[in-house]
Amino acid sequence: MLFAEVILPLPLHERFTYQIPEPLQDKVKPGMRVVVQFGKKKNYSALITAITSSHTSDFVIKPIDALLDDEPVIKQVNLDLWNWILDYYMCSIGEVMNAALPSAMKLEGRDGIMEEKYHAKTQTIVCINPEIAQPEKWEQVLAEISKAPKQRDLLIQFAHITNLFFEDKIPQLERKAFLKTTGSNEGVLNQLIKKKYLIARTEVVSRLETHNSIQTGMNLLNEWQELALSQIRSAFEKWATVLIHGVTASGKTEIYIHLMEEVCRAGRQVLYLVPEIALTSQIVARLKKVFGNKVGVYHSKMNDAERVEIWNKVLQFEPGQNKGYQVILGARSAIFLPFSSLGLIVVDEEHENSYKQHDPAPRYHARDTAVVLGQQHNAKVLLGSATPSFETYHNALNGKYGMVKLAKRHGVAKMPQVVVADIQYAFKRKQMKSMLTPELHKSIGETLESGHQVILFQNRRGYSPYIECMDCGWIPWCVNCDVSMTLHKKHRRLSCHYCGHHIAEPLQCIRCGSASLKTRGMGTEKVEDELYKLFPSARLTRMDFDSTQSKKAFERIIHQMETRKIDILIGTQMVTKGLDIEHVGLVGVLNADNLLNFPEFRAHERAFQLIHQVSGRSGRKEVEGKVIIQTSQPLHPVIEHLKKDDYEGFFNHHIFERKAFFYPPWSRMIKITVKHKYPAQLDSSSMELGRLLRANKSYRVLGPEYPLVGRVQQFHIKEFWLKIPRSQNLQEIKENILHNTETIRKLPGNSALIIQIDVDPV
C-alpha cells in the first residue's frame, strides 16, 4: 500500500493522508496535483508533498480519486519556501498554497464533479497534403476538380498565399484567418479537406503576448555605473544580499540588466521584482531588447489562464535549451513561481510597501521573502532604491547586507531643483488659485509653454473625501464602516473606499433637507476638474485606481506620456513610482500635509520616500527638472531634508526617534487584529487576550486599541502591537502568541471572532 501526504487549498494547518490506488502507484510523484474528497461530498485538487508506505493518520483513509498532472507542477525547493513562509508569517500551509498557485490550478467540486479551469487555447491549422505539393501532381489535382470551380479557386489561393512552390517547408495557414482573407466559406474548405488535398489539425497556442522587438543588446555603462557594478560584484563575494543606494535616474536598471545578463550566460534564472504593475511595461521593453523571448511577465492584471501558461514556462526552463522563461519580471506573487535554479533576484524600489501582502494571509513581505528565496537557491539578492527602507539601510550599516552607492544621474541629467511653497501663507494673502500656490501655478504655465510635461501628485482618489451640510453639519457616513463616504462626481455617487458600498450623490441633506451641501477636501478627480479650468488648452489625464481598471490602462497612459500626447498627468501614488519619461520638467506635490500628519510610526519615512520618488520623475534626461512641494509646514524636518536632497541626514535624524520609542528596526513587531460584529464580545475577548499576552514578559504589548477606522464591513476592530526585542527567541514568542490566540478562539461565544496575525506589519 502506498499513501500520499497532501496539502488542500483551504486555510488549514494539517496535511492529509490519502491512499494511492493501484493503477496510479507508478505514476504519482510529489509535486503533482490529485483530486481528493474532503468533507461532505466536496472535492478538491490537492498537492502531493510526500509518498509513504505507512501512515499515522487517525482518520479513515480515503483513496485518491484522480491524478491531474503528468509531471510535477512544483519542486521541492519551491515547497521549502512555502514552509519558511508558514513558519515565519504564522499562517497555515493551505493559505500559502492558495497564495502560491494560480487559481486555475486549484479546483473545487461537488459530488465527484470537477472541471479543470485551465484549458489550453487551440487553433486549427490547415496545410497542404505533401503528396500533391509537386508540380506534376498539382496540375493533375487542378484538372480533377475543375468541375468545382470554387474549390479549385480556393486551392489556388492557398498555393498563392503560401508561396507553395517556392518554399522548402510544407506551408500552413490558420483556418479562420485563411477563410477571412479569401472571403471563402467553410463548406468549400471542408470539401478540400474531405478530399485530402488539404489537411486540418488542431494545435495549442500561447495566450501570452510575444513582443517582436529587436534585440539590440545592452547599453554601455558610464564610468560611475561601471564602478558601481564592479563594487557590487565584489560585495557579492562577501554578502549574499547587497543594497544599491542610487539616486533616481542614475541608471540602476542598467546595472541590473548587466548583472542579469551574466547570470543568464551562466545558465541560471533571474527574478526581477517590481512593486507596481504600472512599471512593468516600461521595464519589459528594456529587458526584451537584451533577453528577447527569454523574458516573462507575471502580475495580478493577467488572467488565470495566462498565469498558468507563465507558470508552465518557468517550469519548462532548462539551461542551455531554448525553451521556457529564464527571466521573470513580476510583482510580489512572482516569488512563488516554480524556479529550479535562481542565480539572481533583483528587488527594485525595495522600500515600497506594496511588497507586503495585507490580506488575506499569508501576510508576507516579498522583499524579505526574496532574501530567504535567495538563500534557498544559493542566489545573489540585489535590493535597489534611491530611498531605502529604514530596515534595509540599517542592515547595510550594520554589515548584515553589503552596500554600494551611485550618486550621479546618467548623462547630462542633474538632480531637480526642489522648491517648497507655503500653502498657508498664500491662502492668507488670498493668492491661491484653486489648490495651486502662485509658485506652482506659474511653474505649470512655464513648463507647458516650453513644451514639457507636468506630473501632479495627490494621494486621494475620487472627487472629495467627504461632503458636509452647511446648515446642520451632517456628513454622509458608510453604513458598514466608521468612515465618511467619498464623492465620485463622474459617477454621481458616494462610495466607501473600505467596503465598496455606494449610494447616489444626495442633492439635499438627508437630516435637515437643506440644499447647501459642500464638498470638502480634494481628490484626483477634483484636481483634474480644476486644472481644466485653469489650463483649458492643456491635455490632462488621470492615473489612479479608478482610471486604471482595464488591463491595458497603464500601458496606454504611459505610452501617451512617452509620445507627449499628455501635458499634465494627475495621479495618486501610482505616478510616484519608477516612471521614466524623458520630457517631464515639473513635478508638483499638491499637499504634503496629508502625508506628514498620518498617525503612524512610519509616516515620516513614507512621506520622505513618496515625495522624493515623485520628485525623481522630473528632469531625467536633457530637460531641467523642478519640483514644487506644497505644504503648510515648510519647516518640518521631512521637508527640510527633502529640500536638501539629503537621505542620510534624514535617516540619521529619524533613526534615533525610532530607537527612543523602541520601534523597528530596533525591535521586531507583530500586529494582532481582533474582529467581531458585536462590540461587547470584541471588548471582552480582546481584554482577555491582552491579559494573556501581558503575562509573557519577553515582549511589550500595546493595545487593545481601536485603529483609525474602528469598524469595517460591519466588524468592530481592535489591534495589539507587540514590540519584541531582537535578542529574544522569536520562535518561542510566536508559539506563545499562537497558544494565547487559540485559547481566546475557543472561549464560549467566540466562534465568530476573527484573529489575524501580521508579522513585520508595515
Q: Does 222 bind ligand ADP (CB under 6 A)?
A: yes
Among 86, 189, 469, 693, binds Zn ion (CB under 5 A): 469
CB of 548 to Zn ion, least distance (A): 22
CB of 490 to Zn ion, least distance (A): 20
Q: Does 512 bind Zn ion (CB under 5 A)?
A: yes
Q: Extract the C-alpha cell encoding 552.
A: 491595458
Q: Does 467 bind Zn ion (CB under 5 A)?
A: no
Q: Does 509 bind Zn ion (CB under 5 A)?
A: yes
CB of 581 to ligand ADP, least distance (A): 9
- Which of the stretches 32-40, 256-264, 315-323, 504-512 binds Zn ion when contact is defined by CB under 5 A? 504-512
CB of 106 to Zn ion, least distance (A): 29
Task: Please report, for the chain, how many H helices and E strands are present, in that order.
Answer: 22, 32
Q: Extract the C-alpha cell encoding 580.
A: 521614466
CA-wise closest residue to 154 among 175, 124, 130 = 175
Q: Which residues contact 235 (CB under 8 A, 6 or more apart)?
A: 242, 402, 403, 404
Angle in degrees, CA 284, 350, 319, rounded to 5: 50
Q: Are 219 and 359 spatial neighbours (Cβ–Cβ below 8 Å)?
A: no
Q: Does 172 bind ligand ADP (CB under 6 A)?
A: no
Cα separations in angstroms, 174 against 154, 162, 199: 14, 11, 12
Asked if residue 665 has a cis previous peptide bond (ω within 30° of 0), the answer is: yes
3-class secondary-structure state, position 706: coil
- Which of the stretches 76-84, 263-271, 385-393, 506-514 binds Zn ion when contact is defined by CB under 5 A? 506-514
Phi-psi region of 39 (alpha: psi -120 to 50; beta: other; left: phi over 0): left
Among 9, 94, 102, 246, binds ligand ADP (CB under 6 A): 246
Q: What residues from 365 to 424 belong to the interface with ligand ADP (CB under 6 A)?
A: 410
- Which of the stretches 181-189, 235-243, 246-254, 357-365 binds ligand ADP when contact is defined by CB under 6 A? 246-254
Cα separations in angstroms, 303 against 111, 208, 328: 28, 10, 17
3-class secondary-structure state, position 674: strand
Q: Does 625 bind ligand ADP (CB under 6 A)?
A: no
- Which of the stretches 243-251, 296-304, 471-479, 524-532 binds ligand ADP when contact is defined by CB under 6 A? 243-251
Q: Does 714 bind Zn ion (CB under 5 A)?
A: no
- Return the one option of Zn ion, ligand ADP, none that residue 530 interacts with (CB less than 5 to 8 A, by type): none
Q: Does 496 bind Zn ion (CB under 5 A)?
A: yes
How many Å apart are CA 483 and CA 476, to the nearest integer?
9
Among 35, 249, 263, 674, binds ligand ADP (CB under 6 A): 249
In the block, cell 502568541 appears at 737
Among 480, 633, 681, 684, binds Zn ion (CB under 5 A): 480
Q: Are 296 and 313 spatial neighbours (Cβ–Cβ below 8 Å)?
A: yes
CB of 625 to ligand ADP, least distance (A): 12
How many Å apart are CA 453 and CA 206, to the nearest integer?
38
CB of 721 to Zn ion, least distance (A): 24
Q: Does 219 bind ligand ADP (CB under 6 A)?
A: yes
Among 98, 172, 184, 253, binds ligand ADP (CB under 6 A): 253
Nearer to ligand ADP, 253 or 741 (CB): 253
Nearer to ligand ADP, 219 or 424 (CB): 219
Are β-strands 108-110 and 502-504 bridged in parallel, bridged antiparallel, or unpaired?
A: unpaired
- Return the one option of Zn ion, ligand ADP, none that residue 69 interacts with (CB less than 5 to 8 A, by type): none
Q: Which residues contact 152 (CB under 8 A, 6 or more apart)?
A: 142, 145, 146
- Return the one option of Zn ion, ligand ADP, none that residue 663 interacts with (CB less than 5 to 8 A, by type): none
CA-wise closest residue to 711 among 749, 676, 757, 671 = 676
CB of 368 to ligand ADP, least distance (A): 22
Nearer to ligand ADP, 259 or 467 (CB): 259
Among 37, 43, 98, 250, binds ligand ADP (CB under 6 A): 250
Q: Are 336 and 304 spatial neighbours (Cβ–Cβ below 8 Å)?
A: no
Q: Does 620 bind ligand ADP (CB under 6 A)?
A: yes
How many Å apart are CA 352 and CA 577, to the nearest integer?
9
Which stretches does DSSP call E strand in 102-254? 108-110, 121-128, 172-174, 198-205, 241-246
Are β-strands 568-571 and 540-543 bridged in parallel, bridged antiparallel, or unpaired?
A: parallel
Among 118, 236, 239, 474, binds Zn ion (CB under 5 A): 474
Q: Which residues bind to ligand ADP, rule: CB under 6 A?
A: 219-222, 225, 246, 248-254, 410, 580, 620
Give me the residues that bind Zn ion (CB under 5 A), please: 469, 471-472, 474, 478, 480-481, 496, 498-499, 501, 509, 511-512, 514
